[in-house]
Chain A
Amino acid sequence: MEVIINNEAHGCEAKLIGRLDTAASQEVSDALQPLMDKAGGTLVLDCHEMTYIASSGLRIFLNLRKAAALKGGKVIVRGINSDIRNVFMMTGFLNLFQIED
């Protein structure tokens, strides 16, 4: 799993590439720490190249959402594939994020 961080003027964007499974979750969580620090702005999770998400990945997304809510920021989840969108739907996560194509 690869994470590429781009700091932006009013937030941060992270490009997630590969499978966000349990094995990768700790590494991804660490890699996304810069987003936690910028949670008062707009956090974009670019998931165009993310192929899978496990529960541990959902927890990471949720933690970012909580940090953003606390600091008045927002999380945009961009480009999730239909399988991941279904995971969001099956778990009730779908309306927790601003989801963009």
Chain B
Amino acid sequence: MHTLDPHCQALLGSFDELLPTLQEMEGTLLREIKAVLAEAGLLVASLESRVKGRDSLAGKLELKGSKYKGIADITDLVGLRVITFYSDDVDKVASAIERLYDIDWENSVDKRKLLEIDSFGYLSLHYICKDKRFPVRFEIQMRTLLQHAWANMNHDTGYKSGVDIPKRYKRAMSRIAGMLELVDDEFSRIRMELTDYRRRVQALVKSGNLDEVSLDRDSFKSYLELRPFDGLNKRIAAVNQAEIQEVSLLPYLNIFAFLGCKTLGDIARLVKGYSEGAYQLACYQIGLTDLDIIASSLGPQDLCITYILKSGGGKAGIRRMFDLLNGASESNELMAGLLVEQSKDLAFMNQ
């Protein structure tokens, strides 16, 4: 139970009257911030909001109620918190917020800039915002997931409790804050390097230096943009005047890796060296049918089958390929056997 003087009781009364407006305001702000983050392409760990609880406000007024002339002087009646994954995203979120609302710079705090160079602790960016649609200002806090974790732990270990905690615990928390700051910086650095790597890979793929590009998910995606199997698919489709349905070819990344491809150059050589065999196999299979639809995965599928057969992988190799693509099944064994039978008299097997 809080003991409040008449001034503070009046402030609390104003809060009660304003409560429905504050709740509506919270919903509006949440929607607007969600939208602006999505528009900016910012993926955040979480977006939280709250209207200050009556009891919490009473506690605040009991401690420093005389500081506030009216209810509008209290800036955290509605509060939102944006938790980012990366430290450099905090500034991007801040910039998005600045586009949305007027910032009361005099009362906003960048805790990141307040710490001395040899101390570590609470790092968070607090904006006090105003918007003429709303009767009171509101607070938006922005920080990383790790800063958020530290702040919560620090809160639990005594912050704001009014009871001072032993120095050794404060030092331990400070040590953790320093470590988390380092980890946050590392996460950002890794993301930046990965982005650089992806750009380099795209440039190498575009310039045709495929032997210099290791096979991984990113490089394979870039390679697929060159549509390396289009020629083969179109040749196969022409046999029955079939339409080609575009499907994802990413599952073939594992298959090319299984076949020993280490670089995109290895795949390019496979396409060059085995397309004729793949075409012969497809002609044999669909040439006598009236099937007039194929998936764009047919080209790489038949290419890999041809490679396996020509390099002596036989039935076991084809089965392994189907197992990797579709999950293990006895019917993969039957299909592999059929393919070995079908291909043994084809020209490519005897060249």
Q: A92 touches which one: B289, B296, B338 (CB < 8 A)? A: B296
Given contacts A92-B298, A101-B331, contact A87 B326 (CB under 8 A): no
Is B298's CB under 8 angstroms from A91's CB? Answer: yes
With a cutoff of 8 Å between Cβ atoms, the chain B residues found around residue A62 in the complex are 245, 293
Q: B326 touches which one: A58, A90, A99 (CB < 8 A)? A: A99
Interface residue A86 (Cβ < 8 Å from any Cβ of B): yes
Q: A55 touches which one: B293, B301, B326, B329 (CB < 8 A)? A: B293
With a cutoff of 8 Å between Cβ atoms, the chain A residues found around residue B299 in the complex are 92
Counting chain A residues whose Cβ lies within 8 A of the other chain, the interface size class is: 20 to 34
Q: B329 touches which one: A58, A96, A99 (CB < 8 A)? A: A99
With a cutoff of 8 Å between Cβ atoms, the chain B residues found around residue A95 in the complex are 251, 297, 301, 325-326
Q: For the complex, would chain A's binding face be called helix, strand, loop or mixed by DSSP majority?
A: helix
Q: Shortest CB–CB separation between residue A82 and chain B, in angstroms? A: 6
Is A92's CB under 8 angstroms from B291's CB? Answer: no
Nearest to B324 among chain A residues (CB) is: A95
Q: A82 touches which one: B295, B298, B327, B331 (CB < 8 A)? A: B331
Nearest to A93 among chain B residues (CB) is: B295
Most chain B CB within a 10 A radius of its CB, from A82, A85, A91, A101? A91
Interface residue B285 (Cβ < 8 Å from any Cβ of A): yes
With a cutoff of 8 Å between Cβ atoms, the chain A residues found around residue B251 in the complex are 95
With a cutoff of 8 Å between Cβ atoms, the chain A residues found around residue B298 in the complex are 90-92
A-B CB contacts (within 8 Å), total count: 63
Interface residue B334 (Cβ < 8 Å from any Cβ of A): yes
Given contacts A82-B331, A94-B326, contact A58 B293 (CB under 8 A): yes
Contact pattern, A 73-98, Cβ under 8 Å of B = 1, otherwise 0: 00000000010011101111111101
Is B301's CB under 8 angstroms from A92's CB? Answer: yes
With a cutoff of 8 Å between Cβ atoms, the chain B residues found around residue A96 in the complex are 247, 295, 297
How far is it, in angstroms, between the C-alpha of A12 and the C-alpha of B291 when the chains are bound?
28
Interface residues of B in 105-160 (CB under 8 A from A): none
Given contacts A92-B296, A96-B247, contact A86 B291 (CB under 8 A): no
Interface residues of B in 296-351 (CB under 8 A from A): 296-299, 301, 322, 325-327, 329-331, 334-335, 338
Interface residue A10 (Cβ < 8 Å from any Cβ of B): no
With a cutoff of 8 Å between Cβ atoms, the chain A residues found around residue B322 in the complex are 94
What are 18 A-B residue pairs whose CB atoms fall within 8 Å in the complex?
A: A54-B290, A55-B290, A59-B293, A62-B245, A62-B293, A82-B334, A89-B335, A90-B298, A92-B247, A92-B294, A92-B297, A92-B298, A94-B322, A94-B326, A95-B325, A95-B326, A96-B295, A99-B327
With A59-B293, A90-B285, A96-B295 known, 12 other A-B pairs at CB within 8 A are: A55-B293, A62-B245, A89-B301, A92-B247, A92-B294, A94-B325, A95-B325, A96-B247, A99-B326, A101-B329, A101-B330, A101-B331
- Seen from chain A, the residues whose Cβ lies within 8 Å of a Cβ on chain B are 54-55, 58-59, 62, 82, 85-87, 89-96, 98-99, 101
